Structure 1
Amino acid sequence: MTIRLVAMDLDDTLLRDDCTISPRVVKAIQKAQMQGVKVTIATGRMPISTRPYAKQLGLDVPVITYHGAMIQQAVSGDILFRHPIPSALASEIVQDVGRRGNYAQIYLKDRVIAQTLNEWSEEYARIASVHIEEADLPGILAQEPEGVEKILVIGEESDLDQLAPLLNQRYGKKVHITKSKPHFLEIIEGTVNKGVALAALAERLGISRQEVMAIGDSFNDLEMIQYAGVGVAMGNARKEIKQQADIVTLTNEEDGVAEAIEQYVLLG
């Protein structure tokens, strides 16, 4: 089956450790596009920190952000698909997390807001190149009728591994909880994930599941890797992700995305 759509995670997949895209990867993506293949990004990041990479690659299709809670046109920012966490539920979760002594920040389209800034927020702002606002979260949420795209809890991996089952038990199917990095516990609306969003995008483009390749490295990529006709795990992926993938490529430092595209997508 010919691959007509490639979806790539951003951090630790498309991006090298220094948050740049290697020339080989850029060349492979551009060659695929020249052959008529649609290429998109599927990330947990917010749109504003995804857009520069979409522009660099010349992507002409919608991109998946917030782990699938939002699909936007890459450059214009027009929203095609949005599933926020209801404000009341988001407020309950944020206060619950705070009482347990954990740091959390919320996402409202292209805004990131935290109750109190600390070393976790400073590190996140550096990695994602975004500004984090400090404000009263319950107050902000009370004024936000539509809800929020995402709640991110940042902490030590052992603490997050204890927190996740507690949140799952309490909030059940109302939210989807996943991890993108060892220190990031990501919470989005319960009916969406990268796999759901990728399926919606493929349908919009008239592309079958078997004609989709998805490339990722972490737990938040699992659903799209399972959905795709060809699921690819990076060489630096968690072992649990490699076990679920059809193919394991090279690491993000070894141009793994380019390797997968060159071997399974490019024609001639």
Structure 2
Amino acid sequence: MAIRLVTIDIDGTLIRDDLTVSQKTVEKIKKVMEKNVMVTLCTGRPNIAAKYFAEMLGIEGYQISQNGAYIKHNITGNIILHDTLPRGIAEKIILICREHKNFSLSLLYEDICYYETLDELAMHVNLNINLVKPIRVDDINELIWKERKNPTKILVTGQARDLDSFMRYLIRLYGSQVNILRSGAQFLDIISAKASKGRALKVLSEKLKIQRQEIMAIGDNFNDIDMIEFAGIGVAMGNAPDEVKKIADFIASSNNNDGVADALEEFIL
């Protein structure tokens, strides 16, 4: 069955380690779209960052962001999915995060980011990776109740070793009530228990009336696993951990060696 939709992770997949997209990858994506194959980006970043890369590549359509919690059309602005964190649980997790001085905490409502204190790493992540300008507030929990709506995501940044143990601790406490996952070595995302890239891809495929067998998904990290498993053709990047490679149908070259372009050539072009 021919591929009708390709979904591509951004960090560690679409972009190289220097945060750029290779010219070869740009050209192959354009050729895929010329064959009337839809392309969507699927990222842990906020929608504004997904939209930035989509526009750079000439992609028009729905983009999946916030690790599957949010789907928005980058031209019409139509939103077909927004899974949020219950305010009560978000408040409890924020209180726990405050007790750990090694971490910085950001709270996101769609593309709006709030913080109390941010270290240099967290500020870099928000400005240069998430492409949002953080807004400082005195008390994030007070903001949650003042907004009278549930947040999209809690982002915790810190050193990888510290986040490993903190993630295990949070999972023991709230693993059944929220989805806690790593979208990078120094990033910890806390989103709705329902949200994942795989679920978002299912929602999008039903909206577009595309069967699983007509989808190719390309990713590199643990948060890409259920997306890769859902697709008819699941592709792991050469730089992916072994656990991700094991569930893939095809292993491409690394993100620094045009892995996305290789996969598109192998199955579509």
Same-fold call, TM cutoff 0.5 = yes
CA RMSD, aligned part only?
1.3
- The structure 1 residue matched to 2:207, chosen from 204, 207, 222, is 204
Q: Give 1:11 deviation, angstroms.
A: 1.0
* 2:230 maps to 1:227: yes
TM-score, normalised to structure 1, is 0.95
For the residues of structure 2 that align with 1:146 and 1:244, how far apart are their CA atoms? 37
Q: Give 1:84 deviation, angstroms.
A: 0.7
For the residues of structure 2 that align with 1:223 and 1:73, how far apart are their CA atoms? 22
Q: Give 1:141 deviation, angstroms.
A: 0.8
Question: Which ranges of 4 or more aligned residues in structure 1 deviate by more than 6 Å?
Answer: none
1:14 maps to which residue?
14
For the residues of structure 2 that align with 1:66 and 1:127, how far apart are their CA atoms? 13
For the residues of structure 2 that align with 1:251 and 1:77, how far apart are their CA atoms? 33
1:126 maps to which residue?
128
- Which letter does structure 2 place at the counterpart of 1:142? W
SS at match of 2:7: strand
Q: Give 1:7 deviation, angstroms.
A: 0.4
Gaps of 5+ in 1: none
- Which letter does structure 1 place at the counterpart of 2:147? E
SS at match of 1:143: helix
Gaps of 5+ in 2: none
For the residues of structure 2 that align with 1:257 and 1:200, how far apart are their CA atoms? 23
What is the 5 A alignment of 1:76-225? 76-101=76-101, 102-124=103-125, 125-135=127-137, 136-225=139-228
Could you report, residue by residue, the CA deviation over 1:178-221 in whole angstroms, capped at 9, with x for unpaired residues? 11111111111001100000011011111111111110111111
Q: Give 1:96 deviation, angstroms.
A: 1.1
For the residues of structure 1 that align with 2:243 and 2:113, how far apart are their CA atoms? 30
* 2:43 maps to 1:43: yes
Contact kept in structure 1, 2:50 and 2:64, CA below 8 Å: no
- Which letter does structure 1 place at the counterpart of 2:165? Q
Contact kept in structure 2, 1:222 and 1:244, CA below 8 Å: yes
Contact kept in structure 2, 1:54 and 1:75, CA below 8 Å: no
SS at match of 2:132: coil
2:268 maps to which residue?
265
Q: What is the number of equivalent residue pairs in this alignment?
A: 266
> Percent sequence identity over matched residues?
39
TM-score, normalised to structure 2, is 0.95
